[in-house]
Amino acid sequence: MSIAPTTSTDDAPQPAAAPAPSPGRWAPLRPLVLRLHFYAGVLVAPFLLVAATTGFLYAGAFQAEKLVYAHELTVAKAGGTELPVSTQVAAARKAHPEGTVSAVRPSPEADATTRVLLSGVPGVDPDHALAVFVDPYTGQVRGAVEQYGSTGALPLRTWIDEFHRDLHLGDTGRLYSELAASWLWVIAGGGLVLWFSRRRARRKVRGTGGRRRTLGLHGTVGVWAAAGFIFLSATGLTWSTYAGANIDELRTSLGQATPSVSAAAGGEHAGHGASAATGGAEHGVGLDKVLAAARAKGLSDPVEIVPPADAGSAYVVRQVQRSWPEKQDSVAVDPATGEVTDVLRFAEYPLLAKLTRWGIDLHTGILFGLVNQIALMLLALALILLIVWGYRMWWQRGRGSAFGRPIPRGAWQKVPPQILVPAVAVVAAVGYFVPLLGIPLAAFVLVDVLLSEIAHRRTRTSAP
């Protein structure tokens, strides 16, 4: 995969004795793809470099989190009989009476603590919760730290996650990551086209050192990593600001939105015994009976219990395992009767909803655990090397304008209409659907047209 355009030396013709290869119908597109790859590589690469570096750190944050927060995450001594969940929550509330219980995650493993999540705690980010860690055997509070998101990210991973997502600049910063995701698949796909078109041409090259060697390394690594880059780009766009909204709208229109269990408490007893205003987690039948009802419906660990939001709502118990195999079943439990009022199985999710869930979890390094995280770190490292090699090739050119040679005049006219018209239509549609691809692409084309016109006028002026 090549970021900088090749020179005439790189694409030297075959000796006269060898027959020239047929250019084919797609040959006129190659200068356009080459130019697009160059512009995107030079101008978008800084954003990709930041995304790759922060993504590398995030992939490693899972294992670092286990070490940094080992005291909070694990019990002092595993074994014995666990206390009722209600007793564990009471211990957490005694130590931290502030805020409201927003969720409870019972200990999923013999050596793991229970998490009691508190919202509305003074001094805690409103988008975060205070996670109180309780030893399920003794009721001892092992600590309390902020938690963010459904993956249970603690401060270290949260900081790196937000740095990767928005550079800690909020909604404005998210534009950088969406720009990177919007262009990564274009750069990777263009690099594949250029690499394999060069191989098919079978042209002899003078020399094997310098820029030629850099191009070989750049292309070889790019080809092997391209599929991973395209995957990261596609999945990264699913939760971006603008393209993500379009994807959600499309999924909804196709009936492929992610479903959710109904949290409305049913029956004549709806609203009885549930009082969310207390700030606690015990409503009606209580946590222990609610958890038992969920277990009876097959919800195995790990699970999260969400108390009723108001007097007319039910408890929601949902599985939160996002590693393979996914556990995403959920049930609603009436707080007055302890009866299950609704059940939603992950197997019932629409296909696109399942693919989205798997794609996001694979992108974030959760789906296959440590192997997944190592693969992401290797992809991030590959992208960093490709960007460095791309800029090195640009430097090694050492001639011409800073932005290389513009597309030759008339290049568009050389593309057959049966190829050009559908290609323009597809590019326009994709650019509209992914605006941070479409807007910069229009700017690239405008700049190149201007450069081409300037070069043409200079040539005409200097002609005798």
| C-alpha torsion angle, residues 391, 407, 229, 442 (rounded to 10) | 110
* 192 contact partners, CB below 8 Å, separation of at least 6: 1, 222, 223, 226
At residue 325, the pLDDT reads 95
Average pLDDT, the chain: 86
C-alpha to C-alpha distance for 231 and 189, rounded to whole angstroms:
11
In CATH, the number for domain 70-153 is: 3.10.450
- The full DSSP string for 212-255 is HHHHHHHHHHHHHHHHHHHHHHHHHHTTSSHHHHHHHHHHHHTT
At residue 19, the pLDDT reads 47
At residue 67, the pLDDT reads 98
What digits encode the pLDDT tens for the residues 398-451?
644 555 555 555 566 677 788 778 888 998 999 999 999 999 998 888 887 787
347: its two tokens:
């197997």
Label residue 52 by pLDDT band (50, 70, 90).
Answer: very high
Q: Where are the domains of the chain?
A: 29-60+168-252+369-458, 70-153, 259-348
Q: Is 405 within 8 Å of 39 (Cβ atoms)?
A: no
Instruction: Output the furthest CA–CA distance in the chain (Å, rounded).
Output: 96
Q: Identify the H or E element spanning 341.
A: strand 340-344
pTM value?
Answer: 0.86
Order of all β-strands in the sheet with 303-306: 141-147, 129-134, 114-119, 100-105, 303-306, 315-319, 330-333, 340-344
- How far the first Cα of the chain sits from its last, in Å, is 41
Label residue 32 by pLDDT band (50, 70, 90).
Answer: confident
Q: Identify the H or E element spanning 141.
A: strand 141-147
Inter-axis angle of helices 435-462 and 242-253, to 10 degrees? 130
At residue 267, the pLDDT reads 47
Tell me the one-letter amino acid at 157. Answer: R
3-state secondary structure (DSSP) of residue 92: helix
Q: Is 215 within 8 Å of 89 (Cβ atoms)?
A: no
457 pLDDT more than 80: no
